[in-house]
Homo-oligomer: A and B are copies of this chain.
Amino acid sequence: MAAEHIEDELVEDADRGYEAAAEKEHHDEDNRLRPDFLRNVREALRDEDFERVYALVEPLHPADIADLLELTDEEERIALARAIRDLMGVEVIAELNDWVRERLMEGLPADVVAEIAEQLETDDAVAMIEDLDRADQQAILAELDPEDRAAIEAALAYPSESAGRLMSREFVAVPESMTVGDLIDFLREGRELPTEFWEIFVVDPMHRPVGTCALSWILRTPRSISLVDVMARDQTLIPVLMDQEEVALRFQKYALISAAVVDDAGRLVGQITVDDVVHIIQEEAGEDALLLSGAGDGDIHEPIRDAYLARVRWLIGNLLTATLASSVIAMFEDTIARMVALATLMPIVAGLGGNAGTQTLAVTVRALATNQLASTNAWRAIRREMAIALLNGSTVAVIIGIAVSLIFQNTILGLVIALAMMTNIVVAGLAGVFVPLTLDRFKADPAISSSIFVTMVTDSMGFLVFLGLATMSGMVG
């Protein structure tokens, strides 16, 4: 985990220079690996021509090697990983999908995994082994040198998805007494520096951060100036137990490149850099669509068993609420028996309500997730959704009302369905905004269960209002 010396990096960079051009041949216009390239790799694997596999894969960028591993089937993947063993470096491992990495790590012997872990920064090493079971973790940790082992064990002691798991323990922290010149000399001598850093932290004697200095400010400042005169005192400090979603929101809100992580006593214990946060921002933002539909983790690499368990639970929940809607219909069996057209039309009222509710829900959940919506502006959001619901409701009600009146030659039926549609779309709007706001208020994730409640309301109300109005209208003989 020790930083590589700068000269080693230079050699590596020079080696890779000429390959940048070659890479372009491997990609389609969306920067995905080309199907014919993948076919060549697969053929070579099938022929057990491992030299050819190596020659094909070698020019790729590490992130593309990770993509390649993800694109291959599970059996192929292990053969591929063996064939390109010494290309499986730091960046490949860090870029791999969590599920793919976990299964690959399970398939490799502990000493090989440990060898990879030693090259990684703590945060990447932790990400690599945190999902393995305890026994596998222990086997790997036992192979590490004591210092790295201690760092990884300390990180694993923090709750998963916390800043402590995410942070790197490699960072540059210097005392307040340094000048710009001192710092540059210190960095030039440094052997134990992180491979990448964008800001340095100035700490007091208790190791508490007092300021942050972007490297560009240092480069622009004469050697004699003191660091305390260059640094920004106004810093965003991340408590070590902060949830990663919250960390991501801070990075985004304050446009951070890196941030100091502090313990309870305010001491600097690590740094988080934006490249680690970018994945979280993407995942957390993309999660809404998956959570709202009950698709759980929703990763295409998730084992079938896990995906099945997550999704079937949701379907069974929906089965229960559908039963409720069904019992509403059952109350009106007599009415339906006397006028079967009602059975034909009732799913339209329920379905459109469901659609309108889902729209409001998606907007509300997104606004809550991005901290745009809070108790302070909830009433404004509710009024806005009501206005939209009234507009949507009247538009759809007029269309369906006229259509039904004409097709069924029955004005009362047209009025009944128009009124039911209007009511259900307004109810859907109310449910779509109140359900997630209420869940959020009680500290539940509104994306996780809102849509079951909202669908329950729109289905039941749709059937109740439509069949109820039809019964009362006196048109049913």
Contact = CB atoms under 8 A, between A and B. Distances in A.
Interface of A: 6, 9-10, 13-14, 16-20, 28, 30-33, 35, 38, 61, 63, 67, 70-71, 73, 91, 94-95, 97, 183-184, 187-188, 190, 193, 196-198, 214-222, 229-235, 246, 249-257, 274-275, 277-279, 281-283, 285-286, 288-290, 292-295, 298-301, 304, 307-308, 311-312, 314-316, 318-319, 322-323, 325-327, 329-330, 333, 336-337, 340-341, 343-348, 350-352, 355-356, 358-367, 369-377, 380-381, 384, 387-388, 391-392, 395-396, 399-400, 425, 455, 459, 463
A388 B307 contact: yes
Nearest to A374: B32
Given A32-B374, A233-B14, A187 B220 contact: yes
Nearest to A351: B322
B219 A372 contact: no
A275 B351 CA distance: 41
B363 A347 contact: no
Contact of A366 (B289, B316, B336, B367): B289
Contact of A365 (B63, B219, B289, B333): B289
Given A17-B234, A307-B388, A322 B298 contact: no
A380 B71 CA distance: 9
Nearest to A183: B219
26 contacts: A13-B233, A14-B233, A16-B234, A18-B233, A31-B246, A71-B377, A193-B216, A219-B219, A251-B278, A252-B282, A282-B282, A289-B362, A289-B366, A290-B362, A290-B363, A293-B355, A293-B361, A295-B360, A299-B363, A300-B373, A315-B395, A315-B396, A322-B347, A326-B345, A336-B343, A337-B340
Contacts of A425: 315
A48 to B, nearest CB: 21
Q: Give the copy number.
A: 2
Given A13-B232, A308-B392, 14 more contacts: A16-B234, A17-B233, A252-B279, A256-B275, A257-B274, A283-B285, A286-B369, A300-B372, A300-B373, A304-B387, A312-B391, A315-B425, A333-B340, A346-B347
B233 A351 contact: no
Contact of A312 (B6, B363, B392): B392
A63 B253 contact: yes
Q: Give 4 nearest A-B pairs by CB, closest first.
A: A17-B233, A285-B285, A215-B215, A289-B289
B33 A363 contact: no
A351 B323 CA distance: 11
A216 B234 CA distance: 22
Given A188-B221, A255-B275, A315 B356 contact: yes
Contacts of A35: 374-376
A289 B359 CA distance: 9
A160 to B, nearest CB: 20
Contacts of A371: 30-32, 67
A371 B65 CA distance: 14
Nearest to A463: B347
A373 B347 CA distance: 34
Contact of A278 (B255, B362, B376): B255
A427 B108 CA distance: 39
B396 A359 contact: no
Given A312-B392, A336-B343, A363 B257 contact: no
Contact of A220 (B30, B193, B330): B193
B13 A374 contact: no
Nearest to A339: B337
Contacts of A294: 355, 359
Nearest to A253: B63
B295 A221 contact: no
B351 A318 contact: yes
Given A311-B388, A329-B343, A359 B293 contact: yes
Given A220-B193, A318-B351, A372 B275 contact: no
